[in-house]
Amino acid sequence: MPEILVIGSGVIGLSSALCLQLSGYDVRIITRELPLRATSVAAGAVWSGSDLEGRSRCWAANTLDRFLALAKEANSGVTLQRMREVYAEDVPDPWYRELLPFFQRLSKHEMRGGLIGGYLMDVPMVAPPIYLERLHDQFLAAGGRLELRTVESLEELAGEAPLLVNCTGVGAREVAKDDSVYPLRGQTILTDAQGIRVGYMDNSSVDHIFPRADGVLIGGVKVKGDWNREIDPAISDRIMRRCSNIEKRLAGANVLREFVGLRPGRDEARLENEQLANGCNVIHNYGHAAVGYTLSWGCAMEVAALARAMEIS
């Protein structure tokens, strides 16, 4: 089978690389950073279908199947987590209601602080440091190779392989010359808080409390256009204060680690073929904004299907 070059080793690049390997291709990853340094390591990362429309729903449903299976495996980094998802307005039943193992609407008398609508549900929760390391190990074990290198443009890779898969996240702004890509800066804190059984996600303020396999992750912020990858202590203080007001068991918890990540913002994710002017074939898979984990496996399955349909040699 011919070699395929995947550019990027965040959750989108690693998932795409693995799905291509499962289809029988030799895969090499070229990436500026190792997987545990990408934006993907900073994520929550809950499976979250609420804001999705169109074909994103199909990608999310396929990812949900995969994550529900992984949640039954020890040490996968994916667990099934009971979550309260709350809103400042009344919300209809979500499209994915029947796909979840447990779902219940929250009644108005269960809400506080001006919040009105919401759900209680069991959804997959990913601990990115564990999950990404596992994907990386599986990729290497299947014969994949990873090369640390910065790519200036896709054109420079013409001649290295018959097909490129562009998974550069916010880096696609330069690599694919796509001005519609922008950063949505996020910052999170991993704590050792104990005894928090139900997670929390407020869609009106982006406050969230995610019990995961590696601790309890709290956040967050979503700042459009901010490229700063340094931790801002004032934001950390605010996150800790706000989340401790919501969940008293966070008071006194130790900080295990802090993260910053640049979500790859775009009106919608770009998943399509392109033939460059120099004849180079590319599948783009970037721009997953705040739902990269939710869409990751479904998008990777589609990348593999597109590659098979191209009959590259």
Ligand X SMILES: Cc1cc2nc3c(=O)[nH]c(=O)nc-3n(C[C@H](O)[C@H](O)[C@H](O)COP(=O)(O)OP(=O)(O)OC[C@H]3O[C@@H](n4cnc5c(N)ncnc54)[C@H](O)[C@@H]3O)c2cc1C
- Residues at the contact surface with ligand X, assessed by CB under 6 A: 7-13, 30-33, 38-40, 42-46, 48, 150-151, 167-171, 175, 186, 188, 219-220, 261, 263-264, 286, 288-294
Nearer to ligand X, 107 or 145 (CB): 145
Q: How far is the CB of 222 from ligand X (least distance, A)?
A: 8
Nearer to ligand X, 110 or 147 (CB): 147
| Secondary structure of the chain as H, E, C letters | CCEEEEECCCHHHHHHHHHHHHCCCEEEEEECCCHHHCHHHHCCCECCCCCCCCHHHHHHHHHHHHHHHHCCCCCCCEEEEEEEEEECCCCCCCCCHHHCCCEEECCHHHCCCCCCEEEEEEEEEECHHHHHHHHHHHHHHCCCEEEECCCCCHHHHECCECEEEECCHHHHHHHCCCCCCEEEEEEEEEECCCCCCCEEEECCCCCEEEEECCEEEEECCCEECCCCCCCCHHHHHHHHHHHHHHCHHHCCCCEEEEEEEEEEECCCCEEEEEECCCCCEEEEEECCHHHHHHHHHHHHHHHHHHHHHHCCC
Q: How far is the CB of 305 from ligand X (least distance, A)?
A: 19
Q: How far is the CB of 218 from ligand X (least distance, A)?
A: 10
Q: How far is the CB of 43 from ligand X (least distance, A)?
A: 3
Nearer to ligand X, 108 or 238 (CB): 238
Q: How far is the CB of 195 from ligand X (least distance, A)?
A: 22
Nearer to ligand X, 106 or 289 (CB): 289
Nearer to ligand X, 31 or 244 (CB): 31
Nearer to ligand X, 117 or 284 (CB): 284
Q: How far is the CB of 297 from ligand X (least distance, A)?
A: 11
